[in-house]
Structure 1
Amino acid sequence: PPPAAPVLVIGSPFLWWMRVGELRAVLAPVVAGTGPSAHPDIAAARRFVRGLDAAVAVTSAPGRGPLTRPVLGGVGWVARLLLRSCRGHAGEMERGVAAAAAERAQAVDYGVRIVAQEQVGLAYAGWDRLLTKVALPAWRMGRWPSRLDAGVVSALTELSRRDRLAEGFASRLGERPACDLLEEPGSVDEAASLLAARLFHGGPAEPGPGWAPVAWQEYPDEVVDRKWRADAARLHRVLDSLGVGHAADPTARDSKGPTLGRVLDHLAAPDTEATRTAPAAPAPAAP
């Protein structure tokens, strides 16, 4: 069977950040539209129309034998006739279903829907920033954070707690998160994190020696420390190419290695070459 579409990468951050009531408010129009589909008469009418449409498609396919072509031609003619005769009734039925769904969707509190839509935008912004600022450096090092959705919640929670205008935030966090509706939220989060790494970075489909998951408590040592050390080594290679010496104090710890004092000494030192080549200032004229 064909692989499933990567809907988790798009939908999973909202499940972790939004509350159950907010998710229901956002999905109210969709749920309202699926309600009439469960009615037996409506479901039977839709199956009948789909069957006629499929019969027309089958009988119109080329490459039939000389014996089956007349039979299929007659079946196709009858199917087209029935389809034309019920087209108006099917259209009226679908318009009635849409009107009933819209009426049911309006029963949801409008204020709750507005708040839920605001949370959708907040979760999207947090997800985008987490991928670009936090996950991308780890992906480049062969590590993929295994709890991206939980990371979005932690980042947005800390940000909202610092915001003095976030009234009622504590009560909102006390409500049930939408991810509790899943049977195994941890497994879903890990699968969504790996899928996000594949889609946005092109990583392997399965973990391996050069492509390992990293937990958030290991992120400072596995990613941040390695990134800082790599940047520091690159900076000191530039200083070596410029001929900058090491620390003046020979008793200092690791005085011949890459140190912060070496960088500060280079930044604080005057540009002697520019001083020698700069033209002398003209003498002031006598009064």
Structure 2
Amino acid sequence: MAALVVAGHDNVSIESATLSTIAAAAACGGEVHVLVAGSGADAAARAASRIAGVARVLHAEAPCLADGLAENVAAQVLAAAGGYSHILFPANAAGKSVAPRVAAKLDVSQISDIVRVEGADTFERPIYAGNALALVQSGDPVKVITVRATGFDPVAETGGDAPIESIPVVSGHGKSRFAGREISSSGRPDLTAAKIVVSGGRGLGSADRFREVIGPLADKLGAAIGASRAAVDAGYAPHDVQVGQTGKVVAPQLYIATGISGAIQHLAGMKDSKVIVAINKDGEAPIFGVADYGLEADLFEAVPELLARL
């Protein structure tokens, strides 16, 4: 029995969520193999071979895999799927696009967003916006799984020396084409990998105030910036920093929530943080129910005072 992890990468390095996915694959039992599908991805394949616990790296190299189009990557995964009992993807945008296609072609049920491996066929996953955990047992011959990265400690990026095997490449399907990519650049840490996250909510009142209050605090702490859905919908912050059930799931060492009431959708994306600090003038706000430290105060007074003391 062996597990295949479909790596997330930029053709140079392996994404951090893949390290957690490898940890989940190892818990399923048997060897862990990693598929690196891309174009000009030799460096990514070498990086995958150095990851602790990886027994083999499968390298698929073709122009049609350069931009990670879901149809082409799914076809490549299916071509390599023979002999694997588990196929695992990070539960990010790319993984959630490819995994359902693979599961449908294999005629099996996908097991989504697992946070714990109970056994080779039994997994734990959150339901009801994270308010309950379901124990799911699968009788399918192949388990197609997406892994919530915050549920597993990542394996070490070094320490392994797995052989790299070039595998035959499937041709592009031509059903979709890559039109372009707009990437926002920031000197701050990536939201999903940051050790400290400072998030703002609707209580900030405007986009200008969001920048004036959240930006300096994040800069001082070397933190990533997050936002509640209410703040994003109001135009205070871009969608790519939204934390919550319909945004990104984070689990930093420190999460500071300012002006966030704590709607269930937001809590689903951040309540696994190691330490949660809430600043809100409403003492009855639900965020205080999950916070390790709560400050009932006007954030426009509390945050500048906090900055002055740091």
TM-score (ref. length: structure 1):
0.25
- Which protein has the bigger strand share? 2
Greater RCO between the two (CA within 8 Å, min separation 6)? 1
TM-score (ref. length: structure 2):
0.23
- Which protein has the bigger helix share? 1
